[in-house]
Structure 1
Amino acid sequence: MQSDINNWFKSRVNLTPGDIAIIDSCTNNSWTYEQLYRRSEQLADYFVSKGIKKGDRVALLAPNHISYFDFLFASMKIGAIFVPLNWRLADAELDYIIKDCEPKIIGIDLSFKDKIDEISTSIDTTVIDTNNYISNLQSRISGINAEIKETDPLAIIYTGGTTGKPKGVVLSNRSILWNALNTITSWGLSNEDTTLTCLPMFHTGGLNVLSLPILLVGGKVVISNFDAEKAVNDLITYKCTVVLFVPTMYHMIIQTEVFQKSNFPDMKVFVSGGAPCPHKIYRAFSEKGIPFREGYGLTEAGPNNFYIDPEDTFVKLGSVGKPMLFNEIKIITDNGVEADSDVVGELLLRGNHSFEFYWNKPIETNETIIDGWVHTGDLAKKDKDGYVYIVGRKKDMIITGGENVYPLEVEHWLESHKDIDEASVIGLPDDKWGEIVAAFIVLKNEMNESELESYCKKKLTRYKVPKVFYVLDELPKTHVGKINKKSLKEGITLRKDSTIS
Structure 2
Amino acid sequence: MIEKLSKHFSHNNQNIAIQSDTETLCYAQLTKLVNGLVIQWRQQGLKPNDIIAVELENSLDFILCYLAALWGGYTIVPVNSELPDRDKEYIIDITKPKLHIKAAPSRTTSEINISPVISKTYLIAFTSGTTSKPKGICHHINSLLTSAEEFNEATGINQTCRMIHCLPMGYMAGFLNTILCPLLTGGCVVICPQFNALTALTFWKSAIQLSGNTLWLTPTMLMLLNRLGASQETKAWINDNISNTFVGTAPLPLAVKNKFEQIFGVNCYESYGMTEILFISTNSKYTKEKKGSVGKLLANNTVRISPISTTLDENDEGLIYIKSNTIYTQIITDEELSENNMSALFETGDIGKVDEDGYLYITGRKKDIIISGGKNLSVRAIEETIYNIKGVQEVAVIGEHNELWGEIAVAFIVSNNPIDKQQVIKHCEHHLIKEAVPKKFISISALPKSSTGKIQKQLLKEKLTDGVL
Output the TM-score relative to the length of structure 1: 0.85
Matched, 1:189 2:183: no
Match of 1:18 among 3, 14, 18: 14
- Residues 231-240 or 387-396, more deviating: 231-240
Give CA deviations for 1:131-164 in whole Å, capped at 9, x if unaligned.
x511xx4849598896x36xx2111110111221
Q: CA deviation at 1:90?
A: 1.4
Matched, 1:466 2:438: yes
Q: CA deviation at 1:495?
A: 5.4
Aligned to 1:297: 273
Q: Distance in 2 between matches of 1:15 and 1:398?
A: 58
Match of 2:247 among 264, 268, 272: 272
% identity of equivalent residues: 29
Aligned to 1:124: none
The residue identity in structure 2 corresponding to 1:308 is N
Q: CA deviation at 1:8?
A: 4.2
Q: Distance in 2 between matches of 1:292 and 1:92?
A: 36
Q: Distance in 1 between matches of 2:313 and 2:387?
A: 29
Aligned to 1:396: 368
Taking the TM superposition and a 5 Å limit, the aligned residue runs for 1:130-209 are: 130=104, 133-134=106-107, 137=108, 139=110, 148=118, 152-209=120-177
- Identify if the C-alpha distance between structure 1 residues 384 and 180 changes in structure 2 by more than 3 Å, giving closer, same or farther: closer
SS at match of 2:404: coil
SS at match of 1:254: helix
Aligned to 1:281: 256
- Residues 281-290 or 375-384, more deviating: 281-290
Q: Distance in 2 between matches of 1:95 and 1:178?
A: 32
Aligned to 1:123: none
Matched, 1:217 2:182: no
The residue identity in structure 1 corresponding to 2:172 is T
Unaligned segments of structure 2, at least 5 residues: none
Give CA deviations for 1:64-116 in whole Å, capped at 9, x if unaligned.
111222112211122210111022221111111101111111222xxxxxxxx
- Identify if the C-alpha distance between structure 1 residues 16 and 417 changes in structure 2 by more than 3 Å, giving closer, same or farther: farther
Aligned to 1:113: none
- Residues 51-60 or 356-365, more deviating: 356-365
- Identify if the C-alpha distance between structure 1 residues 408 and 15 changes in structure 2 by more than 3 Å, giving closer, same or farther: farther
Aligned to 1:111: none
The residue identity in structure 2 corresponding to 1:296 is Y
Answer whether contact 1:239 1:267 (CA < 8 A) is retained: no
Matched, 1:405 2:373: no
* Cα root mean square deviation, aligned: 2.6
Taking the TM superposition and a 5 Å limit, the aligned residue runs for 1:266-415 are: 266-287=241-262, 288-302=264-278, 304-310=279-285, 315-334=289-308, 342-359=315-332, 365=338, 371-415=343-387
Q: Distance in 2 between matches of 1:428 and 1:269?
A: 40
Aligned to 1:64: 58
Q: CA deviation at 1:48?
A: 1.2
Answer whether contact 1:174 1:352 (CA < 8 A) is retained: no
- Runs of 4+ aligned residues of structure 1 deviating over 4 Å after TM superposition are 137-146, 310-313, 360-364, 493-496
SS at match of 2:7: helix
Q: CA deviation at 1:456?
A: 0.8
Output the TM-score relative to the length of structure 2: 0.91
- Identify if the C-alpha distance between structure 1 residues 468 and 37 changes in structure 2 by more than 3 Å, giving closer, same or farther: same
- Residues 67-76 or 165-174, more deviating: 67-76
The residue identity in structure 2 corresponding to 1:90 is P
Matched, 1:250 2:189: no
Q: CA deviation at 1:311?
A: 7.8
Unaligned segments of structure 1, at least 5 residues: 109-128
Matched, 1:430 2:430: no
The residue identity in structure 2 corresponding to 1:279 is L
Q: Distance in 2 between matches of 1:71 and 1:467?
A: 50
The residue identity in structure 1 corresponding to 2:330 is F
Answer whether contact 1:200 1:206 (CA < 8 A) is retained: yes
Q: Distance in 2 between matches of 1:416 and 1:32?
A: 46
Aligned to 1:94: 88
Match of 2:47 among 47, 53, 56: 53
Aligned to 1:476: 448
Give CA deviations for 1:407-446 in whole Å, capped at 9, x if unaligned.
1111111111112111000111111111111111112122
Match of 2:389 among 402, 411, 417: 417
How many residues align structurally? 459
Q: Distance in 2 between matches of 1:405 and 1:492?
A: 20
Q: Distance in 2 between matches of 1:144 and 1:308?
A: 35
Answer whether contact 1:176 1:353 (CA < 8 A) is retained: yes
Q: Distance in 1 between matches of 2:216 and 2:101?
A: 26
- Identify if the C-alpha distance between structure 1 residues 195 and 138 changes in structure 2 by more than 3 Å, giving closer, same or farther: closer
- Identify if the C-alpha distance between structure 1 residues 434 and 212 changes in structure 2 by more than 3 Å, giving closer, same or farther: same
Q: CA deviation at 1:60?
A: 1.0
Q: Distance in 1 between matches of 2:330 and 2:84?
A: 25
Q: CA deviation at 1:230?
A: 2.4
SS at match of 1:435: strand
Taking the TM superposition and a 5 Å limit, the aligned residue runs for 1:71-86 are: 71-86=65-80
Give CA deviations for 1:23-56 in whole Å, capped at 9, x if unaligned.
123x2x1111111111111111111111211221
Answer whether contact 2:155 2:285 (CA < 8 A) is retained: no
- Residues 155-164 or 348-357, more deviating: 348-357
Aligned to 1:6: 2
Q: Distance in 1 between matches of 2:114 and 2:189?
A: 30
Q: Distance in 1 between matches of 2:244 and 2:345?
A: 30
- Residues 189-198 or 274-283, more deviating: 274-283
The residue identity in structure 2 corresponding to 1:276 is P
Q: Distance in 1 between matches of 2:354 and 2:57?
A: 38
Answer whether contact 1:229 1:258 (CA < 8 A) is retained: no
